[in-house]
Amino acid sequence: MKYKSIFIGFDERERGAYNVARASIESRSTVPLHVQSIKLSKLKKLGILNRPIEQKDGKMWCPISQAPVATEFAFSRFGIPFLQREGWALFVDCDILCLSDIKELFDLADDKYAVMVVKHKHDSGVATKMDAQAQVYYSRKNWSSVMLFNCGHPAHQKLTKEALNTWPGRDLHAFKWLSDEEIGALPTHWNWLVNVTPGIPERKGIWHYTLGGPWFPNWKPTVLDDAWLAADKARLAFAATEA
């Protein structure tokens, strides 16, 4: 049986979030999965990603974008079409909690699109996000945090290594290599931005803790932390039975 390919952004500072994200996907899946972390170091070693990243005031900084870099997977996610040349692949930020069978998301894949995302609409809001990182607003913000990639779509040929390594981050996150018609829309519950998306979320799809969560020290609790904490507790309990 063919597996579903999933890439989860990895940053050592958010290992706890990564572990919960992965467990929440795998524990609810009814189909075989190939889940892997996508690491900046691996893409550098493969010669896919070599854009400069500097340190400024103790945080990562992109001199090309002239903007802070919140995570190690800020750019590495766009290396997926170089790692997988055909079929569909899912990318998710590590700060997500999957509350449904991920097969339901893959079932929405439409081959006419190069990528499918939740098309959030916001250009302003809180000044900071996870780990006290500065919040940067740009066109199509948060679209790239959960992406179904149609890896073999011919439009991705325009995403060259040169573009990956020289374009400002905001252009990559806005899918500047694609036309509007090549970007498909997913239902909002597949990238529900916790404490950002208006309304009360249903317990389904993917909750995205984009402002941060209980895996950070000195985190100020919010009401929706309970779902993440319960998932972490279940993960640890399962790990104990397997030991």
pLDDT digits (tens, 9 = 90+) for 140-172: 989 999 999 999 999 999 999 999 999 999 999
pTM of this prediction? 0.91
User: Tell me, what's the pLDDT at 1?
Assistant: 46
> For residue 141, what pLDDT is reported?
87
User: Model confidence over 6-60: pLDDT tens digits?
Assistant: 999 999 999 999 999 999 999 999 999 999 999 999 999 999 999 999 999 888 9
pLDDT band of 135, cuts 50, 70, 90: very low
* pLDDT grade for 131, boundaries at 50, 70 and 90: low
- Give me the chain's average pLDDT, please: 92
Using alpha carbons, select from 188, 193, 221 the residue that is nearest to residue 207.
193
- For the stretch 66-72, contacts whose Cβ atoms lie closer than 8 Å and that sit 24 or more positions apart, written own/partner, are 66/168, 67/136, 67/168, 67/169, 67/170, 68/133, 68/134, 68/136, 69/169, 70/129, 70/130, 70/131, 70/133, 71/9, 71/11, 71/13, 71/14, 72/9, 72/10, 72/11, 72/12, 72/39, 72/40
Q: What is the pLDDT of residue 122?
A: 64
Q: Which CATH superfamily is domain 4-242 in?
A: Spore Coat Polysaccharide Biosynthesis Protein SpsA; Chain A (3.90.550.10)
Q: What is the pLDDT of residues 191-220, one digit of tens each?
A: 999 999 999 899 999 999 999 999 999 999
CB 8 within 8 A of CB 224: no
Q: Which pLDDT score, from 0 to 100, does residue 185 have?
A: 98
Residue 130, pLDDT > 60, answer no
- 77 is written with which tokens? 């996610």
